[in-house]
Amino acid sequence: MNQMSNQSQKCGCVCDNCSNSNRNAKHLLEEIERLKTMIDLQKQQIITIDSHNQSQFEMKTLRDKLLNFQDKYDRILENYRKTQKINQNLEDKLLNIANFFENEREDLNKKIAAANDKLSEAMRIAKTHQRQTEILKSDFKFIVRSLRDQTNINFELLPEEIKQRLRNFDDFYVIEQSQTTRVPVASFPSIEIDSGSAETSRNIQFEAKMTARLIKDLEHSDSLLYCQKCNEKIDSISKRISPITASQSPTITSKLSHRIDDKIMIV
């Protein structure tokens, strides 16, 4: 049986040389198989290591990217917070500015309303003064016309200021030029002539003084104050108050006419 096992597979002999070579070849084959197995194991390990390294590399790459993205996110978040804070400050400033201009607008509206009220009040006062001025002008013209009809008044005895105001009327030059000097005619007895002449002279002087006083009273009426609330005429000197109504305004001319008839004596 041993011989059969020591028989060479190539030549079929059972010599020692052939048997040793056969054993060596078998050993080599086993060694080759073992080496192949080791090579396969090494390859498997290399593949495993490569795959592990690859996964580690990918993981490291992903980790780096994640860190990079995290850093970007942190910076973006910080910038967003800063921007939000700036926007909040700007919004507060805009609200303050809006409130300021709203208050300014309300103040301007109030001032405009007050100015409109003052303007309307001033226009009403101006119209009232204009109406009173027209009434006084008409009264003064009436007095001038009344004086024009009095031929016995010596205008030279009037104050210069009043004469200057009278000269502003065109009719006064006619009055002044058309004035005639009356010379009393001598009669009997002479005493009566002297007394009559003296009485006439005194009457003329008295009439001139009363006319000047009447015109001064009319000038004084220009300084009267008018209360716009109660529609009253207030004397700024004596502080006397006399109400003026619409029904009394047309009677001023008639009253002045009666004053002229009472104060001036017609010769």
DSSP notation for the chain:
-HHHHHS-TTT----HHHHHHHHHHHHHHHHHHHHHHHHHHHHHHHHHHHHHHHHHHHHHHHHHHHHHHHHHHHHHHHHHHHHHHHHHHHHHHHHHHHHHHHHHHHHHHHHHHHHHHHHHHHHHHHHHHHHHHHHHHHHHHHHHHHHHH-TT--GGGS-HHHHHHHTTSHHHHHHHHH-----PPP-SSHHHHHHHHHHHHHHHHHHHHHHHHHHHHHHHGGG-EEETTTTEEE-TTT--EEE--TTTTTHHHHHHHHHHHHHPPP-
Is the pLDDT score of 234 beyond 80? no
Is there a domain that residue 33 lies in?
no
Is there a domain that residue 12 lies in?
no
Name the more confident of 208 and 98. Answer: 98
Is the pLDDT score of 255 beyond 50? no
Query: Looking at the 3D structure of the chain, how many domains does it have?
Result: 1
Is there a domain that residue 152 lies in?
yes
* Cis peptide, bond prior to residue 189, ω within 30 of zero: yes
Is there a domain that residue 159 lies in?
yes
| Window from 20-24, 123-127, 218-222 with minimum mean pLDDT | 218-222
Is there a domain that residue 252 lies in?
yes
- Look at residues 153, 167, 127, 257 and name the one whose alpha carbon lies nearest to residue 205: 153
| Window from 11-25, 30-44, 214-228 with minimum mean pLDDT | 214-228
Is there a domain that residue 83 lies in?
no
**Residues, the chain, total?**
267
- Look at residues 197, 210, 106, 96 and name the one whose alpha carbon lies nearest to residue 150: 210
Is the pLDDT score of 125 beyond 50? yes
Is there a domain that residue 238 lies in?
yes
Using CB atoms within 10 Å of the CB of residue 203, give its burial: 0 to 12 exposed, 13 to 18 middle, 19+ buried: middle
Is there a domain that residue 168 lies in?
yes
Is the pLDDT score of 189 beyond 90? no
pLDDT band at 57 (very low <50, low <70, confident <90, very high): confident
pLDDT at 73: 95
CB atoms within 10 A of CB 71: 10
pLDDT band at 9 (very low <50, low <70, confident <90, very high): low
Range of the domain at 223: 133-179+191-263
Calpha distance 196→186 (Å, rounded): 10
Residues pairing with 243 in the sheet: 232
Is the whole model's pTM more than 0.85, yes or no? Answer: no
